Structure 1
Amino acid sequence: MTSPSDPIVLVGLPGAGKTTFLAALWYALNHSTDGGISLNALPEDQAYLNEISRTWRQGEPQPHTATAVFQEIRLCVRYDGADVPGELVLPDLSGECFQQDQWADRHWNQKYDSIARAASGVVLLVHPDAWKGSPRIADVARAEQLIEGSVAESQGEHVASGGAGRAGADESDQVEANVVDFDPLRVPAQVILVDLLQFLIGDPCFHTALRVSVVISAWDLLESRGRTPSVCLEKEMPLLHQFLTSNADRISCQVFGVSAQGGPYEDPRVRQNLLQMDNPIERIQVRDADGNTSDITAPILWQVRDRVVEERECRGIS
């Protein structure tokens, strides 16, 4: 049986909102009594958490996490319903560590490796910008049909004019001129995210299903569309959705929509409205299968809820 103190890994590509999520989480743990997770003791080093939390509270964008920085955050917390405290371990890495190091260069940090091998779950953050411009299968198929039709039409015209041989040579030259080298950083985000998850579930250390909380960040941009987070993931990132559902024996998944900021800071009116709220926690928007809430601990609490119940049963507590 896994323990509530097992690490939960934050995973996300550049711009996914990992630091903003962590900043809002730290503020909520310090100022809210309504969440499912509360602080049991303060960590020895709070400087980084206090800094990003202060930036969040002031309605300012978070500075980009440096690639070389590895923040191993360990919090002594108490889960709702648990009789003993647990340790929440949230390593904060830059998105480039996942995109460049792990995906493109096929290696990862040794410290991250030790945490990943001990991890019981993953909070996978996805920003809506990640699926902008991602080609869909139907779009690719239609494009191929148009290209084939255009080539066939062009060949027909050249054949009619007696230039079939030259047409083939011209097309071959054009294709060669348009060929570009493969760039792993131009691959659609969902392909990279699936690969990152395959790294984790492919490790022999995982004997039970990996719990994955998919967090669609900047949910305020999508709330008005009337879709649930699960439907949004299925429609916008079908490859990732298919991977998660087809590996149900190895992955237990729940999808959340989270706006840790409450709105785009770039809009002066939105930012002003957010700053005027008496309680900054009210900025937070969380959408899950049960509806709307401001409890940003929900994606993590879902990870450990079953383990808390198991622990109570093992200790003979009903």
Structure 2
Amino acid sequence: MSNTENLLFIGLPGSGKTTFLAALWHVLSDRSSATTLKLRRLSGDRSYLNQITKEWRECAQVPRTNLQTEQVVVLHLERGDFGAFDLSIPDLAGEAFKQQLTDRRISRSHDAFVQGATGVVLFLHPDVQKGTQLTTALQLEATLPGGLTDEANSAGPVPGTWSPEMLPHQVRLVELLQFLLERTQKALRVAVVVSAWDLVESLGMPPNVFLARELPLLQQFLEANDDLIEHAVFGVSAQGGDITDTSQKQSLLDLDDALKRIKVRQDQNTGHDITKPLAWLLGAGR
């Protein structure tokens, strides 16, 4: 009889949750690579996994999950020191988490996933083209009601109605984590995944340093709540490059093994094992 582990993927729209799942299924179903977690057997309807993985293999944009197409994926896995287990991963739409922040409400099914989670993967996109280089203070100054721009520094408050969507990305991620802690009422393991790692790996810093520099509020929250949240930070490039760039896309398609597209970095170690964040959640590396 297998144990059941319930992992929750959380993140805002476009943070890379479904792309990660597509690359994960490719690696597990291929069975030819040395990964920490291995697929034990196949079962059930795999049409959803096969479809998103087909898009991934073709270097096409993996469709984002919407509120109407949310899926619960069950994988039958094994790990040498952990034995056989079933891994349940609900592929929830980023819009569901966005709705949670803006409307302060979630569905009963979503709440059940939250309360049953044995581990959490928090996805965030580095979003380098939208100015994550701004410090927290500057982001708050630009987004909070009455904030001042350079031009309006002496002219008064910036006009317009404030909404939760105007909050900086890292503030919204902290709110998501606070909500999880309130609903679960237990300590959690959280694997922070900086997706599209290929966009920022040239900076030459490990993921935990990137997080501390670019999202200091999130990093401070994790460290200040280390009695409730045990965390590790991973940089993951599931696509391997910018598939909207014709040259990069062709280079990825020309690889003799699609597995080589995947890059996973933790601290100073870089490899292709996309199961590593999940294995850490299940106890590897304690």
Please say whether Structure 1 and Structure 2 have the same fold, judged by a TM-score greater than 0.5: yes
CA–CA distance in 2 between the matches of 1:128 and 1:293? Answer: 20
Once the two structures are superposed, residues 242-294 of structure 1 have per-residue CA deviations (whole angstroms, 9 ceiling, x without a partner) of 11011000000000000000000011111111111111011000101250000
1:5 CA displacement = 2.0
1:181 aligns with 2:154: no
**What is the identity, as a one-letter code, of the residue corresponding to 2:280?**
W
CA contact (8 A) 2:126 2:194 kept: yes
CA–CA distance in 2 between the matches of 1:180 and 1:235? Answer: 30
- Residue 113 of structure 2: which of 106, 115, 119 is its match? 115
1:109 CA displacement = 2.2
C-alpha RMSD over aligned residues: 2.6
CA–CA distance in 1 between the matches of 2:175 and 2:148? Answer: 30
1:202 CA displacement = 1.6
SS of the residue aligned with 1:270? helix
**What is the identity, as a one-letter code, of the residue corresponding to 1:184?**
P
Once the two structures are superposed, residues 39-86 of structure 1 have per-residue CA deviations (whole angstroms, 9 ceiling, x without a partner) of 112130100000000100011111232222220111111123223x11
CA–CA distance in 2 between the matches of 1:48 and 1:187? Answer: 33
Distance 1:8 1:130, change over 3 A: farther
Q: Please give the residue correspondences for 1:129-278 in structure 2 after superposition, counting only pairs within 5 Å.
A: 129=127, 132-133=130-131, 135-139=134-138, 151=154, 175=157, 178-203=158-183, 205-207=184-186, 209-278=187-256
* % identity of equivalent residues: 41
1:302 is matched with which residue? 280
CA contact (8 A) 1:123 1:212 kept: yes
CA contact (8 A) 1:217 1:257 kept: yes
2:69 is matched with which residue? 69
Distance 1:251 1:10, change over 3 A: same
2:7 is matched with which residue? 8
Stretch of structure 1 that moved more, 46-55 or 33-42: 33-42
CA–CA distance in 2 between the matches of 1:97 and 1:268? Answer: 32
CA–CA distance in 1 between the matches of 2:85 and 2:206? Answer: 31
2:20 is matched with which residue? 21
Distance 1:189 1:41, change over 3 A: same
SS of the residue aligned with 1:7? strand
CA contact (8 A) 1:4 1:304 kept: no
Q: Which runs of 5+ in 2 are unaligned?
A: none
Distance 1:184 1:141, change over 3 A: closer
Once the two structures are superposed, residues 214-237 of structure 1 have per-residue CA deviations (whole angstroms, 9 ceiling, x without a partner) of 000010111111111001011111
TM-score calculated relative to the size of structure 1: 0.81
2:54 is matched with which residue? 54
Distance 1:71 1:148, change over 3 A: closer
Which structure has more helix as a fraction of its residues? 1
Stretch of structure 1 that moved more, 131-140 or 274-283: 131-140
CA–CA distance in 2 between the matches of 1:105 and 1:146? Answer: 28
Distance 1:201 1:145, change over 3 A: closer
TM-score calculated relative to the size of structure 2: 0.89
SS of the residue aligned with 1:6? strand
CA–CA distance in 1 between the matches of 2:266 and 2:282? Answer: 16
**What is the identity, as a one-letter code, of the residue corresponding to 2:29?**
N
CA–CA distance in 1 between the matches of 2:68 and 2:141? Answer: 43
CA contact (8 A) 2:128 2:199 kept: no
SS of the residue aligned with 1:269? helix
1:136 CA displacement = 2.0
Once the two structures are superposed, residues 154-212 of structure 1 have per-residue CA deviations (whole angstroms, 9 ceiling, x without a partner) of xxxxxxxxxxxxxxxxx6xx64xx43211211211111111111111122x433x2000
**What is the identity, as a one-letter code, of the residue corresponding to 2:233?**
V
CA contact (8 A) 1:11 1:123 kept: yes
Distance 1:137 1:37, change over 3 A: closer
Distance 1:268 1:114, change over 3 A: same
Stretch of structure 1 that moved more, 60-69 or 290-299: 60-69
Q: Which runs of 5+ in 1 are unaligned?
A: 152-170, 310-318
2:41 is matched with which residue? 41
